[in-house]
Structures are given as structure tokens and as C-alpha cells.
């Protein structure tokens, strides 16, 4: 007998890619359940770079207009590129790199995605221990099952991914990062990054004039440098860096060691399970592509599942997930590798930092800008 009930999808993780996928599949007619370990949604206190490829993914997911309403109206002002701590420019991106770039407050983006999931069963405070092809087992030993597809959108330490053969594992990138958003508008004439020896500071204005910033420092994984280290390291760098730190509430400045997913997954799909976002390809933030790649995942997976939502046989699901994997794994893995290599270069210290600066100073802008421009050249059909 032909099945008449629509596809049932379980999404583990209520982050950006998980909620974006949930909203799209729900509108397409699937029964969607989302499990989130956190007891409630909380404010993030950080920003995100949304590039042209990310917005095209959002458009495919039916979310583009809503996100544009909370994003900056224009690219970061003035020049964008890389400077020395004294403010001298080493590289300046060509306009094509930043013309589609918009900075969003991560908290605002999350609220938009939650609103788009109205009517979806989102369960908070659920810790998943393991997953199989039709469901998951949670911390209290009970099983939540009966699904056609189980999506791991549960981040770097994904429990859904733990069943993969020779699964990749988190690895420290060699540096950590503070992140913050100023409590008031700050005048910023230029954007981009400033680099020192094992140190970096990034500036990204938000829609309302407040500024999202990040500061990177090469330290061991278990180091937890305090705000005194932040201020002593960057307090003498060019304006407006000291003002950005001073106008950010100390309690809203967060610090995390930067990690990425090391190891090669042979597939993002396993039976009825599939990985998206950081669960599949957690990358360092050096290209600003983490959220954009997660949204690309969601757009492609939604496209692959859409034709079988009303007839989700096991064979049809396997074929759809294989199609998703074939499209997404090569591109996301390549971008993750590029981000990791760029991070190593930008965080270098000692004599190599001087060689890096010299090379960046003489490199033509079009060459420096080419990688970012190519990365944004993506459509949901690609």
C-alpha cells in the first residue's frame, strides 16, 4: 500500500543551519521535530558575516527577505582589507569582495529563524547520546524514533556524527578569540582585519551603528586569557580598536578556543542519517564562511528531499541523501581547508610574521580578493 503520511524529519540541534532547514521542510509539508540540548535560547553577543552565497541559500530556503531586514543596509563602510597594528594598509579588497557582504547580529538572526519555525515541535533541554537511522537515544535512556530522516545539526561535537566510521574529531587551531558587540554606535570609517604577530583584530559594523568585533590570540587550548590580556594586547592598536573594546560591556565579551573538525568524512550521509553545518565540516572562522556553508547545506538538503516528502521510501531517502553528499562534501571540505590554511598564515608569529606582512603588502589586490570572490560564486543548483 502506498504511504500517505508525509516525511518525518528529526533535526538534532537548533542552531542556524538546523532551524533554517526545519523551516524550509516544514513549509514543504514535512513533519519536523527539532531537539536542542540548551534549556532555552540565549543571546549570543557576536556577529556574523553574511556573503552573497549565504543570502542565495537563504532565498532558496524562503528566509532571505526576513534576514535582510535585520542585516546591515550596506557593506562595511570605506575600505576593507588587512592593516598593521599602526593602521597602515597591507591589502585592500576589490569592491566585488564586499559588495554583497552584510553583517548581522547572531542573536537577531536566531530570532528570525525561530520565528520562521512557528508551528514546529522544538524541544529544549534534550541531550542526545546517540543516533540511528530512524531516531535517537537521549540522556535519560529513552528513545525518540519513527523518523524517515535524522539530521545532525548538532555542531562540532555532534552526537549524531559519533556513529560514523573513522569519524573526524575536534582539533585546536592554535589560537583563541574574544568576541563582542559595542553597547552603542561607534564611528567606523573602514572595516576588515588588523594583524600582528600571533594576534588579530576584526571590525564589522552592524545595521544600527553598533560594531561587532573579534580579537584573536595564539595561545594553548587550555589557556583562558582574561580581559586584562585583551586590553594590554590590543589597547595600543590603531583607532577605533581601543574604543571598541572600551564601549563593550565586559559581561558580554566572550572567549573561546578556536577549533575545527580534523579528519576526512567519507560521506555526510549514513543510512537515514545526514550531517549539516558544523557537524559535517566545522571550520575556523578565517574566511567568515561557517554560517554561510551551513545555510548552503540546508538549502541543498531541502532541495534534495523536497521531491520525496510525500513518498519517503527508504530507497528514495538514501538516494536523496547521496545526492546531497555529492554536492556538498567537495565544496565545504575545500572551503574548510582554505580557512584553516589562511588562519595559520594570519596567526603566524616571529620572523614569519614579517615575511607574511611583506608578501601581503606587495600582492596585487585582485589576487588577494580572488579567493573570496570565487567562494561567493555559488547558487543552490551548483
| Cα separations in angstroms, 165 against 52, 98, 242, 263, 318 | 34, 40, 48, 11, 17
pLDDT of residue 2: 55
Q: Do the domain assignments include residue 94?
A: yes
How far is 206 from 102, CA to CA, in rounded Å?
8
Q: Do the domain assignments include residue 106?
A: yes
pLDDT of residue 76: 82
Q: Do the domain assignments include residue 2?
A: no
Q: How many CA atoms lie within 13 A of 102 on its CB side?
A: 21
Q: Are 267 and 318 in contact (CB under 8 A)?
A: no
Q: Do the domain assignments include residue 30?
A: yes
Return per-residue pLDDT of the chain as tens, 382 residues: 456 789 999 999 999 999 999 999 999 999 999 999 999 988 878 999 999 999 999 999 999 999 999 998 888 888 899 999 999 999 998 888 888 899 999 999 999 999 999 999 999 999 999 999 999 999 999 999 999 999 999 999 999 999 898 779 999 999 999 999 999 999 998 989 999 999 999 999 999 999 999 999 999 999 999 999 999 999 999 999 999 999 999 999 999 999 999 998 999 999 999 999 999 999 999 999 999 999 999 999 999 999 999 999 999 999 999 999 999 999 999 999 999 999 999 999 999 999 999 999 998 877 778 878 888 889 887 6
Nearest CA among 31, 36, 34 for reference residue 11: 34
Nearest CA among 313, 328, 13 for reference residue 161: 13
Identify any residues that bridge with 257 across adjacent strands, giving them in sequence order. 176
pLDDT of residue 1: 45
Q: Do the domain assignments include residue 40?
A: yes
DSSP string over 217-268: E---TT----HHHHHHHHTTSSTTHHHHHHTS-GGG-EEEEEEEEES--S-S
Q: Do the domain assignments include residue 3?
A: no
pLDDT of residue 363: 81
**Residue 272 — φ and ψ, nearest 5°?**
-95, 10
Q: Which domain holds residue 326?
A: 8-376
Note the Cα 3 to chain centre separation in Å: 37
pTM for the model stands at 0.96
CATH at 86: 3.50.50.60
Q: Do the domain assignments include residue 66?
A: yes
Q: Do the domain assignments include residue 352?
A: yes
Q: Are 261 and 329 in contact (CB under 8 A)?
A: no
Q: Are 271 and 135 in contact (CB under 8 A)?
A: no
How far is 284 from 135, CA to CA, in rounded Å?
30
- Number of domains composing the chain: 1
Q: Are 56 and 151 in contact (CB under 8 A)?
A: no
Q: Give all strands (DSSP E) within the chain, no chain letters.
A: 8-12, 31-36, 47-50, 80-83, 89-92, 102-105, 121-124, 128-131, 136-138, 143-144, 149-152, 169-181, 191-195, 199-205, 211-217, 254-262, 269-270, 273-275
Tens digits of per-residue pLDDT, 277-305? Answer: 999 999 999 999 999 999 999 999 999 99
Amino acid at each position: 500500500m502506498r504511504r500517505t503520511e508525509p516525511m518525518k524529519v528529526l533535526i538534532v540541534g537548533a542552531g542556524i543551519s538546523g532551524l533554517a532547514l526545519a523551516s524550509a521542510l516544514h513549509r514543504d509539508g514535512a513533519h519536523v521535530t527539532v531537539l536542542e540540548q540548551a534549556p532555552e535560547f540565549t543571546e549570543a553577543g557576536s556577529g556574523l558575516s553574511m556573503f552573497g552565497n549565504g543570502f542565495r541559500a537563504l532565498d532558496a530556503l524562503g528566509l532571505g527577505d526576513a534576514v535582510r531586514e535585520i542585516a546591515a543596509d550596506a557593506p562595511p563602510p570605506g575600505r576593507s582589507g588587512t592593516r598593521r597594528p599602526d593602521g597602515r594598509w597591507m591589502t585592500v579588497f576589490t569592491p566585488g569582495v564586499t559588495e554583497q557582504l552584510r553583517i548581522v547580529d547572531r542573536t537577531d538572526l536566531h530570532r528570525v529563524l525561530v520565528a520562521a519555525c512557528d508551528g514546529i515541535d522544538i524541544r529544549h533541554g534534550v541531550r542526545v547520546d546517540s543516533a540511528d537511522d530512524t531516531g535517537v537515544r537521549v540522556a535519560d535512556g529513552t528513545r525518540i524514533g519513527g523518523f524517515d530522516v535524522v539530521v545532525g545539526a548538532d555542531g562540532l561535537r555532534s552526537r549524531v556524527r559519533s556513529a560514523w566510521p573513522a569519524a573526524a574529531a575536534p582539533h585546536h587551531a592554535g589560537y583563541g578569540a574574544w568576541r563582542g558587540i559595542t553597547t552603542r554606535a561607534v564611528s567606523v570609517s573602514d572595516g576588515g582585519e588588523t594583524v600582528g604577530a600571533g594576534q588579530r583584530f576584526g571590525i564589522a559594523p552592524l545595521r544600527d551603528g553598533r560594531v561587532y568585533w573579534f580579537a584573536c590570540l595564539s595561545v594553548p587550548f587550555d589557556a583562558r586569557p582574561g580581559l586584562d590580556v585583551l586590553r594590554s594586547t590590543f589597547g595600543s592598536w590603531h583607532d577605533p580598536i581601543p574604543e571598541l573594546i572600551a564601549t563593550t560591556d565586559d559581561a558580554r565579551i566572550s572567549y573561546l578556543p578556536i577549533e575545527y573538525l580534523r579528519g576526512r568524512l567519507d560521506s555526510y550521509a549514513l543510512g537515514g542519517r545526514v550531517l549539516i553545518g558544523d557537524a559535517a565540516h566545522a571550520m575556523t572562522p578565517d574566511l567568515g564562511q561557517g554560517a554561510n556553508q551551513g545555510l548552503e547545506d540546508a538549502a541543498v538538503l531541502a532541495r534534495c528531499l523536497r521531491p520525496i516528502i510525500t513518498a519517503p521510501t527508504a530507497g528514495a531517502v538514501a538516494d536523496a541523501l547521496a545526492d546531497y553528499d555529492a554536492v556538498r562534501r567537495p565544496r565545504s571540505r575545500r572551503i574548510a581547508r582554505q580557512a584553516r590554511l589562511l588562519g595559520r598564515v594570519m596567526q603566524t608569529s616571529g620572523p614569519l610574521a614579517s615575511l607574511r606582512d611583506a608578501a601581503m603588502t606587495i600582492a596585487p589586490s585582485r589576487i588577494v580578493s580572488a579567493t573570496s570572490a570565487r567562494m561567493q560564486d555559488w547558487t543552490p543548483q551548483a
